[in-house]
Homo-oligomer: A and B are copies of this chain.
């Protein structure tokens, strides 16, 4: 049976789950900023922290799904994303519009990375 390691285990979800070399993060949200660029930056910081805890980093993300409550904020999200994502080591990515768990969340990002 394959081993599973979980980080920040809560009653509904764990923030990171590791199986073999593969790290699955929970969808990250952060409403400390009121705008999409600020929220995206805060979310990406959370991803950095979780990946570090799980033994990885943003250079080793394989795929990302980005949810925006308003697709017209696409370029605002990308401003923060492009400042953060490592040149030459960008993940596969899908972006779509979707309402999120609470209306104050403007962006949610879910990534899969490897060790």
Which residues of A line the B interface, CB within 8 A?
1-2, 4, 6, 9-17, 19-22, 24-27, 60, 62-65, 67, 71, 74, 78, 81-82, 85, 87-101, 108, 110, 112, 114-115
Contacts and interface: CB of A to CB of B under 8 A. Distances in A.
A16 B92 contact: yes
Given A19-B22, A100-B97, A92 B4 contact: no
This chain's copy number in the assembly? 3
B98 A17 contact: no
A99 B97 contact: yes
Contacts of A112: 24, 63
A94 B74 contact: no
Contact of A9 (B15, B81, B90, B110): B90
